[in-house]
Chain A
Amino acid sequence: MKQNLYKYILGIADNSLILGQRMGALTGHGPSLETDIACTNISLDLFGQVRNYYQYAAKLKGDNTTEDDIAFLRKEREYFNVLLVEQPDTNFAYTIARQFLFDSYHFLFLTELQKSYDITLSAIAKKSIKEVSYHKRFSSDWIKRLGDGTEISHENIQEAINELWTYTDELFHQTEEDKIMVKENIGVDVTRLKEVYYDAVNGILKEATLDIPESKWFQKGGKHGIHTEHLGYILSDLQYMQRTYPNMEW
Chain B
Amino acid sequence: MSTKKNWPLWEVFVRSKNGLEHRHFGSLHAADEEMALENARDVYTRRSEGVSIWVVESKHITASNPENNGELFEPAQDKVYRHPTFYDLPDEVKHM
| Chain A positions near chain B (C-beta within 8 angstroms) | 32-35, 37-38, 41, 137-138, 141, 145
Contact between chains at A41 and B42 (CB < 8 Å): yes
Task: State the main secondary structure of chain A at its contact with B.
Answer: helix
Contacts of A137 in B (CB 8 A): 38
Also in contact, A38 and B39, with CB within 8 A (given A32-B7, A32-B29, A141-B34): yes
Number of A-B contacts (CB under 8 A): 27
A34 to B36, CA, bound (A): 9
| Complex interface: chain A residues within 8 A of B72 (CB) | none
Chain B residues with CB under 8 A of A33: 29
Task: Tell me the nearest residue of chain B to A144, going by C-beta.
Answer: B34
B43 within 8 A of partner (CB): yes
- CB of B31 closer than 8 Å to a CB of A: yes
Interface residue tally on B, bucketed by range: 10 to 19
Binding site for A on B (CB under 8 A): 7, 28-31, 34-35, 38-39, 42-43, 46
A34 with B29: in contact, given A41-B42, A41-B46 (CB under 8 Å)?
Answer: yes
Chain B hits for A34, CB < 8 A = 28-30, 35, 39, 42-43
A145 touches B38 (CB 8 A): no
Contacts of A35 in B (CB 8 A): 39
Cα distance A198–B32 when bound, in Å?
Answer: 28
